[in-house]
Structure 1
Amino acid sequence: MASNFKVGDLVWAKMKGFCAWPARIIEPMSEVKRPTSKKNHHFVFFFGSENYAWVQEDSIWLYADNKAKFTVTSRIPRGYNIAIEAIEDVIKMLPSQMPEKTTSVTENTPVYKKNSGKKSQPISDAQSNSVKKTLPLATKGKNSVKSSSNPVRKSRKSIKPLRPEKVVSQNPGVTLLKSGKKRPSSSGHSHKAKKSKMVVKVSTPAKQDGLAKNTLSSTKKWIGTPHPVKFNKKPKTPTETPASKVLKPEITPAVKSVSSSTQIEETLFRTISSPNTSTLSANLKIGFLGLGIMGQGMVMNLIRSGHEVTVWNRTSSKCRNFIKEGALKKNTPADVVQACDVTISCISDPAAVKDVVFGNCGVIQGIENGKGYIEMSTIDEETIKDVREAIVLRGGRFLEAPVCGSRVPALEGQLVILVSGDRKLYEDCHSCFEAMGKRTFFLGETGMATRMKLVVNMMLGTVMASLAETMALAQKAGLEQEDVAAILAMGPLASTTVSYKSQAIMNNKHDPHFPLQHQQKDLRLALDLGDKVEQPLYVAAAANELYKKARRLGYGESDISAVYRATSA
């Protein structure tokens, strides 16, 4: 299929949900799966964000020809200016940094000369003898190729990105990079004990290689920047990256399961490099109410990213470890709100939220003009709107921001955050969301984020209930549960949730990454939402009954995988 672009072209590339972004078409990488669509796609490198993706051709435009059309002048996304600067640096370097090319003229090479007003015709043999065997080519502009002699018709060579040098490994099927890290072979003959998720770390080559210098120093993803592929975000040094060390794929190590207790896990306080340590912190004093399973990791990431954090929890002993890490402590929610610019709450259920907000020495008593309040609890839409109304009536600003993820993503700052409400407060607290999550979605008016969270958690609950029944049926039918888990992990239903929860069921270990009672609460709220909008939810209703049975059996504070116990009771 004919294509309008070549490898090396500087372009604008647009992905769904993002503005057109400065990019460059490059050679495809084997680690990134090619789209199955029959339409033309190109493999694109996004400047600034340092990400790769396949982009459909009708969403790509030449950079120089469409600069005026796509340049953003208002509401500029984070990282956009860096991307523009990077691509402009490439353009400036192209004429002087382009390597000299040569071409050979042989007896079978047709040589053309240009006749004014006529179609180009081949030069005669006598004329061709006067042409030098080797002609240096200088590129000016996009398509022009000139030499000191007659022009030679030759297709432009594409500029390929640098690849790391390879060394031979004793282990067949594995290619070692110079860094010593391993990358699976592209051949299908190597034995794989477990399918690993490939995460690519990308650094921009040095100037002499024709690409822009590395201008990205932040270790977090930017809101508004295209992120089609997940990349490892280790902190970088300010020095320029050597050309021999670019494009080094890394295999992300498996996350070790963390046991639960009422105290903060040791994992939370490890002094390893955190992906959030370089997040730019706003000059805001942040309050945080609730140090449960989710709140612990969220608060620690706020502290590590440089925010000044004041904490409160109904069980005050949970605050001690955070005070050691630099947090401040107040005795009541009202005290926290009065001492901080923005207060975040992550509480277990609607009743607890109402008590913290409207109760004695509650949030409302500390709210005054300009104070911000962010409710990150998963509760019903009616309660959310009641809290918002009370905050706004006192001159405060309000956001709802429930999160998708469990304990481990909270510890690692890899939550997905769903936000709706005051847009200005959302922008002011951008650094907080960066510290706690890998991606933030702004969904509009108050109530929309809660609806989205309930829809997502309804599916999670029904999938977990179905997995529990699947494992129970397999056992009763004489099948090995290990075989069932292995087959599920290799088929179209493969996911981290299915993999981890299958192991939890087989090992009979249900440490609460996501408490079962909270999942049942979310299913109940989702069913209420279905009644409100007149949408029948047959599967969710059945799953809810299974979770209710598990709670009656005493598994409410265990992980959602404990719903399996209700299927065999």
Structure 2
Amino acid sequence: MESPLKEFRVNDFVFGKMSGFPPWPAIVMAADPAAPPRPKDSKWVYFFGEHNYAWIEDKHIKPFEEYKEQYKATYKQTKFKKALEELESIIENMHKDPDYRINFVKYISKEHRSTPKESKSTPKKIRKSSGLNSTPVPKKKARTSSMLNEDTNDNDSILSSLPLVDKVPKTLNTSNVTTSEKVIGFWAGNLYAGGIIKNLINSGHQLNIWSHSSTLCEELEEYAEQQRTYLKTFNSPAEVVRNSDIIFSCLADPDKPKELILEMGDLLSGKGYVEMTSLDPERSKDLSELISNSEGRYLEAMIQGCREESMKGELVVLTAGAEELFLQCQSSFKAMAKATFLLGDSKNLGAACKAHLILQVMRGIFLTGFTEGFAMADKCGIILKSFHNVFSYTDLSSSYLEGKAEMILSKNFASAEEPLSQLQKDLALGLEMSNKYRQPMPLASNANEILKHARRLGCDNQDACCIYNRTRY
């Protein structure tokens, strides 16, 4: 039975719960002068481990000591464990030294966050005179939107010139990009849509939403109200188009966008249309033609990342299409992504889809090899936790694979960061593309068969790493 709602005071150690994340070790703070407006019945908290701040509703705050053992047994993520260890270490030091002080990472308001200045790293050693010196937080790369200088109609040459985030031929500086006054319409139909929309809400965009999920619509309405941002939900995609300037489509089925666009008739005339549904190049070109015939503008915008990254606004977006529309969407891309690339203009449609599908094929190959390795370790009698510990110290480790390892160890695949059905669809589209270019892809073909078998077993909505169970036999 849960404890009744209690009043928390400044300096209370707590667990704070944000949507999409587990309850997180935190401390109640006095609100920073630069903090966003306070929502009703909420506290300003500082999260350990992540070292950031947020307003958290009172009903989503729990006392630390009372819930510590319960949450420690429930949540096994590496980041959660590190945050818990940090707070427990602080409490232990405070018991030993009454004068012990916590050194918090300073809050930086959103308008100053995109151009971080270099700072000297904080020494890890803890001195009583200076309080706690936390482990420095790895810097997030400045949000980047980039365009290629080359004027070419050859998609292959565009892909060969794919720019790097930290070194591009031409970069659009988004640090001074203000929130667009355009009304954004959003067709929300996949796992990433909710996180993307919440980041658009956080950045102050005006939003019109349509989704089959009434639960998602209600959650977004409540969230927008808390953030005091305009958001309206509609019962049909057509109503969203009528009341919006730019429409973002983020759906699960690659055939659904064409179906909806055909239903719109001339409603898309003069509108901007951004397709974020995972597509192959040919489907994208078909959509562009339909939009052009309606006298609208088209941009393909393929997203790379997982559900957690969509919640944090740390996706990577690959685009191609109308450059004018790309520029009008800068504030939207800045809100949802850590980096955005324009890989081609309207004459080079399909460039972003190609790059996206290639990355998805690589993701599928990595994942099947990774799960087979863990299955082999298990068959050899190696304790998986020990094997994971070794793996995490090698250069094979990455944040992507570490997240999958935690799911395998907990045998909990229900919380889908990357749905099995979506990854398998993308692999199938990638293999279709390889046939067109006569590129042999035996590894991708094998990975696709493993994913298809898991889908036949009814695992569509589980995380893709559930194929671990398939590779064991």
Q: TM-score surpassing 0.5?
A: yes
Contact 1:220 1:279 survives alignment (8 Å): no
Which protein has the bigger helix share? Answer: 2
Where does residue 286 of structure 2 map in the other structure?
A: 386
Counterparts of 1:63-82 in structure 2, within 5 Å, are none
Q: Residue 412 of structure 1: CA displacement?
A: 0.6
Structure with greater contact order relative to length (CA < 8 Å, sep ≥ 6): 2
Q: Residue 482 of structure 1: CA displacement?
A: 1.5
- Separation (CA, whole Å) in 2 of partners of 1:168 and 1:453: 43
- Separation (CA, whole Å) in 2 of partners of 1:567 and 1:496: 22
- Separation (CA, whole Å) in 2 of partners of 1:167 and 1:560: 37
Is 1:449–2:362 an aligned residue pair?
no
Look up the equivalent residue of 2:126 and give its one-letter code.
S
Where does residue 491 of structure 1 map in the other structure?
A: 394
Q: Secondary structure in 1 aligned to 2:278?
A: coil
Contact 2:126 2:133 survives alignment (8 Å): no
Q: Residue 486 of structure 1: CA displacement?
A: 1.6
- Separation (CA, whole Å) in 2 of partners of 1:441 and 1:357: 25
Is 1:306–2:204 an aligned residue pair?
yes
Considering only aligned residues, what root-mean-square deviation do their CA atoms show, in Å? Answer: 2.8
Q: Secondary structure in 2 aligned to 1:497?
A: helix
Map Cα deviations across residues 167-190 of structure 1 (whole Å, 9 max, x no partner).
Answer: 9626xxxxx995743247xxxxxx
Q: Residue 530 of structure 1: CA displacement?
A: 0.3
- Separation (CA, whole Å) in 2 of partners of 1:415 and 1:344: 15
Look up the equivalent residue of 1:401 and give its one-letter code.
A
Determine what percentage of the aligned residue pairs are the same residue.
30
Contact 1:287 1:342 survives alignment (8 Å): yes
Counterparts of 1:173-322 in structure 2, within 5 Å, are 180-183=132-135, 198-200=137-139, 221-223=143-145, 228=166, 280-322=178-220
- Separation (CA, whole Å) in 2 of partners of 1:495 and 1:165: 24
Look up the equivalent residue of 1:347 and give its one-letter code.
L
Contact 2:241 2:268 survives alignment (8 Å): yes
Look up the equivalent residue of 2:402 and give its one-letter code.
S
Q: Secondary structure in 1 aligned to 2:207?
A: strand
Look up the equivalent residue of 1:367 and give its one-letter code.
L
Look up the equivalent residue of 2:387 and give its one-letter code.
V
Q: Secondary structure in 1 aligned to 2:145?
A: coil
Map Cα deviations across residues 288-338 of structure 1 (whole Å, 9 max, x no partner).
Answer: 001431000001111110100000012334211222314111222121111
Residue 245 of structure 2, aligned match among 333, 341, 350:
341
| C-alpha distance 288-183 of structure 1, shift in aligned 2 (>3 A) | same
Is 1:519–2:423 an aligned residue pair?
yes
Where does residue 261 of structure 1 map in the other structure?
A: none
Aligned length: 328
Given the two structures, how large is their TM-score scaled by the length of structure 2?
0.64
Q: Residue 506 of structure 1: CA displacement?
A: 1.5
Where does residue 533 of structure 1 map in the other structure?
A: 437
- Separation (CA, whole Å) in 2 of partners of 1:167 and 1:372: 50
- Separation (CA, whole Å) in 2 of partners of 1:469 and 1:380: 28
- Separation (CA, whole Å) in 2 of partners of 1:539 and 1:337: 42
Contact 2:261 2:290 survives alignment (8 Å): no
Contact 2:309 2:315 survives alignment (8 Å): yes
> Which structure has the bigger radius of gyration?
1
Contact 1:277 1:305 survives alignment (8 Å): no
| C-alpha distance 364-381 of structure 1, shift in aligned 2 (>3 A) | farther
Contact 2:420 2:451 survives alignment (8 Å): yes
- Separation (CA, whole Å) in 1 of partners of 2:210 and 2:142: 27
- Separation (CA, whole Å) in 2 of partners of 1:283 and 1:380: 31
- Separation (CA, whole Å) in 2 of partners of 1:177 and 1:164: 18
Where does residue 545 of structure 1 map in the other structure?
A: 449
Residue 327 of structure 1, aligned match among 218, 221, 231:
231
Where does residue 425 of structure 1 map in the other structure?
A: 325
**Residue ranges of structure 1 left out of the alignment (5+ in a row):** 1-47, 53-161, 171-175, 185-197, 202-218, 230-275
Q: Secondary structure in 2 aligned to 1:199?
A: coil
- Separation (CA, whole Å) in 2 of partners of 1:502 and 1:459: 18
- Separation (CA, whole Å) in 1 of partners of 2:123 and 2:343: 46
Counterparts of 1:471-490 in structure 2, within 5 Å, are 471-490=374-393
Q: Secondary structure in 1 aligned to 2:138?
A: strand
Q: Residue 164 of structure 1: CA displacement?
A: 8.0
Residue 361 of structure 2, aligned match among 458, 468, 476:
458
Contact 1:334 1:365 survives alignment (8 Å): no
- Separation (CA, whole Å) in 2 of partners of 1:353 and 1:281: 27
Q: Secondary structure in 2 aligned to 1:464?
A: helix
Contact 1:372 1:398 survives alignment (8 Å): yes
Q: Residue 541 of structure 1: CA displacement?
A: 0.2
Contact 2:450 2:467 survives alignment (8 Å): yes
Where does residue 401 of structure 1 map in the other structure?
A: 301
Contact 2:115 2:175 survives alignment (8 Å): no
Contact 2:146 2:341 survives alignment (8 Å): no
Which stretch of structure 1 is more off in the superposition, 486-495 or 521-530? 486-495
Contact 1:401 1:449 survives alignment (8 Å): yes
Where does residue 501 of structure 1 map in the other structure?
A: 404
Q: Secondary structure in 2 aligned to 1:475?
A: helix
Contact 1:167 1:177 survives alignment (8 Å): no
